[in-house]
Chains A and B, each alone.
Chain A
């Protein structure tokens, strides 16, 4: 009996020690470092670019960067709930709403790439060479006729890519409500990130809309090829928006501004211009610097360094 009590007390002691150590550790981190919470779209995260930037940034400042990734809709939603200091997203319409609603401070473009429609090599819907609008229309028509042969896999998760897909349907003169119904077995709504959606498209040998960067990062694992790559509607711009301290007083605006300034610095822009060369032989993203007009980011939005008193002004 005595031995058993000893065992139990020993176990309790270990538990107490572990808990104390854990709390002490937590306090140590909070005492020295500040925390920057980034809510990002999946493409920056899935390609590994953000991991690399995070590491460099943590070396420059005494900061612990915590990144959560989700589609643009989810990334913005987290910031609206006060769970982020900075968002990195790619849906200009919702970015503007986010700022107008008082949650975001300002929009800084820092990178771009293009959307592409990818699909099986044998192109069952025969869309090669078409404009994006014609392609979407043809996929729908062929899908209605042969739902087992021609499928379109949608992100279906309110992401920036999903938003662009809706614009493509709209440009093709098709009502999205008519596309996204469960009766349409050719139209598959994944409700997941870009990586899982690409895998699903590959398994089903269907078509999907994807950004060039994520596709390049996943390409070697997939039997899919880019089929539609040209069209103004396919330009995809990434922007950073610090969360307003007026909306959430505990937000780490200073560090968010520092991160934006790192993104648009020569060092940050060079990294964006080079990232991927080592692993896949060509860059995954294009830097915004020098291309502002092309990507439609004018004035303050054009990859510029934020003012020194940026956060103080924001609070006033």
Chain B
């Protein structure tokens, strides 16, 4: 089967598209992590009016449709839009912005859930042992690290597999913004099914690895 051959022979186009997909998704996930882990912590450790509503809103945004994010970011980055002068539309940078917005809610929500999963006993123990507020927060975050890592991996998985933002903001430009999902969409309609399948196999394999890692960090390996 040519699809498998393309992968095994490390076809330059297949490798290039895969590398670009990974680079863009990793960047989006890294930026999202830097932004949302502290944000999730902030929301979890503070009690304020409307906290429940904020958490509900974040959970609603889990299933934010990718094309809606694509549309909003398109309007922001278009030449006539507010950020048009930066020339980010149809660039990998623009895709990173879109994907970061796309995965931020699910990562924030799961971070909050991860922190909530740490029993109050941990905090009480830390405080009773003389920990400052900051040290107590740090202890809880350390306890929740597995679940938080799972949140990050899930965000990465969503960034890698989405097609709406990649197509609308990236524009599927060959050798520049063409990633696994948009290349599959183009090559399938163009009729190069074997090439699409090669990319599809890679995409599924990466998703599988990510999922195994999620299970692994959550401690139920093979479960």
Contacts and interface: CB of A to CB of B under 8 A. Distances in A.
A258 interface: no
Contacts of B190: 73-74, 77, 157-158
B191 interface: yes
A191 B174 contact: yes
A192 interface: yes
A306 interface: no
Interface in B164-207: 171-176, 178, 182, 186, 189-191
17 contacts: A70-B189, A74-B189, A77-B191, A81-B191, A158-B190, A180-B174, A188-B176, A189-B173, A190-B171, A191-B172, A191-B173, A191-B182, A192-B172, A192-B186, A203-B78, A203-B79, A203-B90
Interface in B77-107: 78-79, 89-90
B174 A156 contact: yes
Interface in A67-92: 70, 73-74, 77, 80-81
B191 A74 contact: yes
Contacts of A205: 79
Nearest to A188: B173
Nearest to A74: B189
A72 to B, nearest CB: 11
A95 interface: no
A181 B190 CA distance: 19
Interface string A191-223: 110001000101111000000000000000000
A182 interface: yes
B186 A191 contact: yes
Nearest to B78: A203
B87 to A, nearest CB: 8
Given A189-B175, A191-B182, 4 more contacts: A77-B190, A157-B190, A180-B174, A202-B79
Contacts of A81: 191
Contacts of B175: 181-182, 189
Interface of A: 70, 73-74, 77, 80-81, 156-158, 180-182, 185, 188-192, 196, 200, 202-205
Contact of A203 (B89, B174, B186): B89
Contacts, number: 50
A26 B79 CA distance: 46
CB-based closest 6 A-B pairs: A182-B175, A77-B191, A189-B174, A191-B172, A191-B186, A74-B189
A292 to B, nearest CB: 32
Interface string B43-87: 000000000000000000000000000000000001100000000
Name, among A77, A158, A191, the residue most crowded by chain B CB atoms within 10 Å (CB to CB): A191
Contacts of B173: 188-191, 200
A190 B172 contact: yes
B171 to A, nearest CB: 5
A47 to B, nearest CB: 20
A285 to B, nearest CB: 25
B171 A200 contact: yes
B9 to A, nearest CB: 20
Contacts of A188: 90, 173, 176
Contacts of A192: 171-172, 186
Name, among B89, B176, B186, the residue most crowded by chain A CB atoms within 10 Å (CB to CB): B186
Nearest to B77: A203
Given A74-B189, A74-B190, A157-B190, A182 B174 contact: yes
A196 B191 contact: no
A279 to B, nearest CB: 23
A252 B174 CA distance: 37
Nearest to A189: B174
A157 B186 contact: yes
Given A158-B190, A203-B90, A196 B171 contact: yes
Contacts of A196: 171
A191 B190 CA distance: 10
A200 B171 CA distance: 8
A73 B186 CA distance: 12
A182 to B, nearest CB: 3
B37 to A, nearest CB: 34
A204 B89 CA distance: 9
A262 B183 CA distance: 38
Nearest to A75: B189
Contact of A191 (B79, B89, B178): B178
A196 B78 CA distance: 13
Nearest to B89: A203
